[in-house]
Amino acid sequence: MNKITSLTFTALLLLASPVTLLAAQPVGNSIDVEGVMRVAARKLAAFDLSQQNKTNFPTDAKGAQWRTVGAPDWVSGFYPGSLWYLYEYARDQKWPDAQAWRARAETWTAGLESQQFNSSHHDTGFVMFDSYGNGYRLTGNPAYLPILNRTAQSLASRYRADTGTIRSWGKIDDTNKFIVIIDNMMNLELLVWASAHGGTTSGGTSAELRKVATSHADRALELFFRPDGGTYHVVELNPRTGAVLRKRTAQGKADESIWSRGQTWAIYGYAYMYEATGERRYLEASLKAADRYLALLPADFVPPADFDSDLKGLEFKDSSAAAIAASAFLRLHRLVEAPALKKKYLDAATATLRSLTSAPYFSKGDDKASLLVYAARNYHTDPNHALTNTSLIWGDYYLLEALLQYRAITTPPAKNK
């Protein structure tokens, strides 16, 4: 999500290559944002109604029913976050049920309160910033602030100065192996934000939280990027020296291939770090990853699960990666200064959103629990496998996020009467 303030996406966004994309297409409000939001409202409300226990969170779906997970799972914040995005849109558009969306979001967010103390994985940024973070941005609820700051402290406890990074996977005290994944770039936002809102490391200072985030981002620049702008998924380090033991994949096709969702985590994460710090090296990293992604995209702007895949067919695509990319490209549109670059990334986002809000990727009917279909948790050669040819809750979350940004950019401000 974007840097939290009391402002809406609209106010935020009004501040502020090797591929030629849609050069002849004018930028305009050509995506049916209202129509998508209405479908999203129906589907999100249906899941809420189906769940007596508001601590079972959707994760993936092959059909009309979401599979669910508990609060500690890394995906648990995406459904509450989606509810907050619906509330934001409903409030701004003056839907009569806007307060009902806020109430739903508050109820589901409350089910994650215990996760502020979770230091067993690095994804508490996803879990808590998408839920409590969006809630704080939109309501200013003072009860949310200490929860976010305590979460940042838990996340920072996984940092080790010997490696200069936050441990992504594994036990916090593992002395044999230290695993870092590119996904971790998405959790740095919580640390930077908390450092500006009174959060601290355990026994430390707010400045140390920011230092942890920048240290991780800088080391990841060394560890994950290939010369062509492609990224690795997993890097294993010696926990005592920080030396690289191995670079590999866990969810892509091969160690040297480009797992498409990992590439979008890099684009998005480094774009945020540039916005938060003003450090040019982070913008350059995001642009490098973005240009590699764009150079490899198929004509419909929805990538395969792995860019080195030779599998054909929609069932081997990852619409969730495309949704993340669309949101990241809209951020880059805001951040770059050159008009040609601004157009390039806005056009890329627009083309991606056109695909994602149309058949075959967008599902209007109740036969699918989700908005987006044809997504992949992992690269897999069997379209019937649980990890591919599915729907993923974070795909829907980032689609809604991107649509809010898109609308803010392309809809002229209302004239005073």
Phi, psi (deg, nearest 5) at residue 176: -100, -35
Question: How is residue 199 written in tokens?
Answer: 């959060």
Question: How is residue 362 written in tokens?
Answer: 């967008």
Are the beta carbons of 305 and 317 closer than 8 angstroms? yes
The question of whether 183 is a catalytic residue gets the answer: yes
What's the CA gap between 210 and 212, in Å, rounded? 5
Q: Long-range contacts made by residues 53-57, C-beta under 8 angstroms, separation at least 24?
A: 54/107, 54/108, 54/110, 54/111, 55/111, 57/108, 57/111, 57/393
**CA separation, residue 152 to residues 57, 117, 189, 200, 331 (Å):** 22, 9, 10, 8, 23
Angle between helices 144-156 and 188-195 (to 10 degrees): 120
The order of strands in the sheet holding 178-181 is 178-181, 234-237, 244-248
What's the CA gap between 81 and 52, in Å, rounded? 19
**Could you please report the per-residue DSSP string of 330-397?**
HHHHHH--SHHHHHHHHHHHHHHHHHHTSTTTB--STTSSSSB-SB-SS--S-TTSTTSSBEEHHHHH
Catalytic residue among 32, 73, 92, 123: 123
Strand segments, DSSP code E, in 64-141 are 67-69
Evaluate the omega torsion of the peptide bond into residue 58 and state whether it is cis, within 30 degrees of 0.
no
The question of whether 123 is a catalytic residue gets the answer: yes
Catalytic residue among 60, 183, 306, 396: 183
Are the beta carbons of 352 and 300 closer than 8 angstroms? no
Contacts of 190 (CB under 8 A, 6+ apart): 124, 125, 128, 129, 133, 148, 151, 152, 155
Residue with token string 């009174």:
198
What's the CA gap between 297 and 3, in Å, rounded? 28
> What residues act catalytically?
123, 183
